[in-house]
Structure 1
Amino acid sequence: MADDTNVNLRKIQIYSVFVRNHTAEGTLKALEADLPRIKTLGTDFVWLLPINPVGKVARKGKLGSPYAIQDYRKIDPAQGTWTDFQHLADQIHQLGMKLMIDIVYNHTSRDSVLLKQHPEWFLHDEQGNLYNKNPEWSDVAELDYGNHDLWDYQIETLKQYAAVADGFRCDVAPQVPLPFWLAARKEVEKVHPNFVWLAESTGGDYIREIRGKGFWISSDGEIYRAFDLAYDYDIDQDWHDYLNGKTSLATYVNVLNHQDLMYPANYIKMRNLENHDHERAHKIIANENDLINWAAFSEFQKGATLVYAGQEFGLTHTPSLFDEDKLSWKRQIDLSPLIRRMHELSQDEIQVTGTYQVHDEGNDIVAVTYQQKEAQRLGIFSLQSKGGIVKTTLDDGEYHNLFDNKTITVRNGIIHVTGSPIIVEN
């Protein structure tokens, strides 16, 4: 992990916006009207999916993926101008939030400025044809960081954005060599001290596949040397296996606890139930009470939090990355108060630096403890809305549920669970 990463970044909540689909207009200017509402959720960073022009060659869908970028240094004219980008950043800052933008440095579109000007900066096979490590990404051309002139260009671009933004979410970060990221971080720090770096890290199967082809790809243990935060993809398959009944809660709990031992002490995971690449949480967790428990549990875990636009209202449709697909803001369930409350709790020191452990309590009930000297905070979440009991070391008596303000009784070292989240402390 970056040695100077501040563990207070565990307090942050990131709100992810796909500008093209977020409003009817699909522009940077139109997004500004929604910023006050976004702020009320407890948002610290507004993360914009790529806002650059999209390539036309080999485009997927009518509008193309925002991750097939034609020119890193320009703003998509359909979304606005560089002035609009700066104005949006100013509005975000005035509301006390920060701006994070998407950086896509593993590849460009197949008609990009860089490919036209510097074809030698791209991967080619033995016949001289463009080569992709991931053949599914047929709309992009992958860059070759063996050329250090490419490093200079990319870092200069980062410095231009760092003069406006406060953080980068780096797409497919592990496939870009770690030495590049270390050099980039050092240079960006000169423009914007305390800049925040989030890596879209990846899981073990994909790491094995890419390394098997003879290419660089970083594990989370490596990526933390240059980045402040990393995705939770290292255990994403374990989570889906539990949701789909392929494995037990005990197995899932074990991998969560293992995370806390295998990474540096100041590691920060970005916890999330959904993002632009995955199905909506309410789609895969249909029961609303289950969803409430999962949302509370996710945000109570050690690390930062991601909210994908529309998640707060339980939207079930995953917007297309390739075609116009405006968000429908019709509320299925309003999780806004939950998100706001869990963010408030995450600001407390015990959840930032306290000793953390996850426990399988049986009957699909999970407990999370934070311990700091004599202080203990206990969260209990019924992931399938079942009742049960949880044994605790808290003294017998009545406690205030920090989640919903109800009274929780501890008797004979036992808390009775009825299906709703419980958060208590001594």
Structure 2
Amino acid sequence: MNYKENLTESIYQVFTRNHSAEGTFSKVTKDIPRIAEMGFDYLYLLPFHPNSEKGRKGDLGSPYAISDYYAVDPAYGDLTDLQELVESAHNHGLKVMIDIVINHTGRDHRYTIENPEYYYHNEKGDFINRVEDWYDVYDLNYSNQALRQELIDMLTYWAKFGIDAYRCDVGSLVPVDFWVDAKAAVREVNPDHFWLAESCHGEFIFDLRSRGYEVASDAELYQAFDCLYNYDIHDTLLPTLRQELGLMELKKRYRYQEWSFPSNYLKLNCLENHDQPRIQGVLRDRIANRNWTAFSFFNKGLGFVYAGQEFFSTKQPSLFTKDLIEEMHQEDHQMDFIASLINMKKSGFIERHTRYEMILNEEECLVSRYETNEEYIYGIFNVKNINTKINIGLDDGLYNDVIIGEAFTVEKGYIDLASEPVIFRVKK
């Protein structure tokens, strides 16, 4: 797998506990044909290991407070059930990504008894963590070389099991040199293994660094990872979605990515995930939802959907108890629309592009453009559903939207903004 191919890919995120009433691997397996039919490349599973009981949050505990890296939560099934899920995904053309949570463990992980030296301690010798709100975990200390080898062994185990990709929780808090070594070891098992880091918000990095902790920036993480979260712009994206900010600052932040990261940088274009509010709950408008969703798939980087997003879910399910996504599988959905966006993403121009840019304009809409050797491909996203014309500098004539196949007119260089997103090609 290479950078150009990665640009065309998309991820579908599932929390097994809340994906069905049963909350099992088997029910996720039964849903794989639907997920695959939309065209996704990766099925991403939140942590499926047993949760620690000591200090747990809620009645079932956080999946990010893990008590055993090699086991699965018996409520989900067993390793055979997980193997069947992985095989079904592979048979349907999906790769499987799992959450790797090794900044910390749950407070009753066996390491706390057998290897207490693997953790941070205060002056009294008590276990500690660096983020006060994460009171159900203890942080691992990577100055211990034996710990590093234990975790590399665990990562190679799951790669041998058939897992194709890792999403690494708070990847910024684990030393970059460890990730480099782990990636090299795992790629001995699977050379195409894909690495996604949950990189951190800038203020979070600033706060921990000011307290003397080592925290990696996005630029540093690209030494080890293929793709990072878009949290570097999230502090602008979220208030923009809430219409607390105009679009100009967000446009500038997207353009800034183009020169602040390596030339082959990849970002995960997630509008929502298990830690963030539902996009439909923020926008309360389906036209705006469709425009932002289309932009997130057109924008350079990986596409992303959190289960329920395709059903316009407004509910952000709890991580700490059973909290079913009630909208799943209802007739009211945008699965066909998402499938068309994924098909657009795979149609070739993103992979062949020689230049991508967010076009800075004064209008409250988003305009982006790819350039290949043969053509320009424009995306116009009327995220605020404004009724106006914009000048995009094109010759007058008839152009065809590639999403729904309808024609529109450019007259005197201007285009009437449609309520729906528009993507079209212009020959050079």
Q: TM-score, normalised by structure 2?
A: 0.96
Retained in 2: the 8 A contact 1:5–1:228?
no
Equivalent residue, structure 2, for 1:208: 206
Deviation at 1:5, TM superposition (A): 5.0
Deviations 1:287-327 (A, max 9, x none): 11111111111111000011000100100111110001112
Retained in 2: the 8 A contact 1:401–1:407?
yes
Retained in 1: the 8 A contact 2:242–2:282?
no
Q: Does 1:319 align with 2:317?
A: yes
Amino acid in structure 1 at the alignment position of 2:222: Y
Equivalent residue, structure 1, for 2:250: 252
- The 1:93/1:47 distance shift into structure 2, 3 A limit, reads same
Q: How does 1:155-170 map to 2 (within 5 A)?
A: 155-163=152-160, 164-170=162-168
Deviation at 1:127, TM superposition (A): 1.2
Distance 1:69 1:5 in 2: 32
Distance 1:276 1:204 in 2: 19
Deviation at 1:332, TM superposition (A): 8.5
Equivalent residue, structure 2, for 1:407: 407
Distance 1:244 1:36 in 2: 34
Retained in 2: the 8 A contact 1:314–1:332?
no
- Aligned residue pairs total 423
Amino acid in structure 1 at the alignment position of 2:348: E
Retained in 2: the 8 A contact 1:249–1:360?
no
Distance 1:6 1:370 in 2: 16
Equivalent residue, structure 1, for 2:122: 125
Which of 276, 279, 287 is residue 278 of structure 1 equivalent to? 276
Distance 1:363 1:150 in 2: 53
Equivalent residue, structure 2, for 1:242: 240
Distance 1:18 1:82 in 2: 17
Q: How does 1:134-145 map to 2 (within 5 A)?
A: 134-145=131-142
Retained in 2: the 8 A contact 1:46–1:99?
yes
Distance 1:68 1:319 in 2: 17
Distance 1:116 1:308 in 2: 36
**SS at 1:233 equivalent:** coil
Distance 1:91 1:309 in 2: 18
Deviation at 1:136, TM superposition (A): 0.6
Q: How does 1:374-389 map to 2 (within 5 A)?
A: 374-389=374-389
Which of 222, 225, 230 is residue 223 of structure 2 equivalent to? 225
Q: How does 1:260-275 map to 2 (within 5 A)?
A: 260-275=258-273
Retained in 2: the 8 A contact 1:5–1:266?
no
Structure 2, unpaired ranges of 5+: none
Deviation at 1:246, TM superposition (A): 3.8
Amino acid in structure 2 at the alignment position of 1:209: D
Amino acid in structure 2 at the alignment position of 1:346: K
Deviation at 1:214, TM superposition (A): 1.3
Amino acid in structure 2 at the alignment position of 1:120: E
- The 1:217/1:332 distance shift into structure 2, 3 A limit, reads farther
Which of 304, 308, 311 is residue 310 of structure 1 equivalent to? 308
Q: How does 1:15-414 map to 2 (within 5 A)?
A: 15-163=12-160, 164-329=162-327, 331=330, 333-352=332-351, 353-414=353-414
Amino acid in structure 2 at the alignment position of 1:16: Q
Retained in 1: the 8 A contact 2:363–2:390?
no
Deviation at 1:200, TM superposition (A): 0.3
Identity %, equivalent residues: 37
Distance 1:408 1:334 in 2: 26
Distance 1:81 1:244 in 2: 42
Amino acid in structure 2 at the alignment position of 1:220: D
- The 1:361/1:52 distance shift into structure 2, 3 A limit, reads same
Distance 1:235 1:159 in 2: 33
**SS at 2:251 equivalent:** helix
Equivalent residue, structure 2, for 1:419: 419
Retained in 2: the 8 A contact 1:7–1:267?
no
Deviation at 1:360, TM superposition (A): 4.1
**SS at 2:233 equivalent:** helix
Retained in 2: the 8 A contact 1:177–1:217?
yes
Deviation at 1:23, TM superposition (A): 1.2
Distance 1:354 1:247 in 2: 31
Distance 1:202 1:327 in 2: 27
Retained in 1: the 8 A contact 2:242–2:283?
no
**SS at 1:234 equivalent:** coil
Distance 1:5 1:229 in 2: 12
Q: CA RMSD in A?
A: 1.4
Deviations 1:372-405 (A, max 9, x none): 1341001101111112222224332111111221
Bigger Cα displacement from structure 2, 334-343 vs 390-399: 390-399
Deviation at 1:264, TM superposition (A): 0.8
Deviations 1:232-268 (A, max 9, x none): 0000001122233443211110000001111111111
**SS at 2:232 equivalent:** helix
Deviation at 1:361, TM superposition (A): 3.6
Distance 1:366 1:192 in 2: 39
Amino acid in structure 2 at the alignment position of 1:337: D
Deviation at 1:333, TM superposition (A): 4.7
Distance 2:348 2:33 in 1: 27
Amino acid in structure 2 at the alignment position of 1:397: G
Bigger Cα displacement from structure 2, 147-156 vs 26-35: 26-35
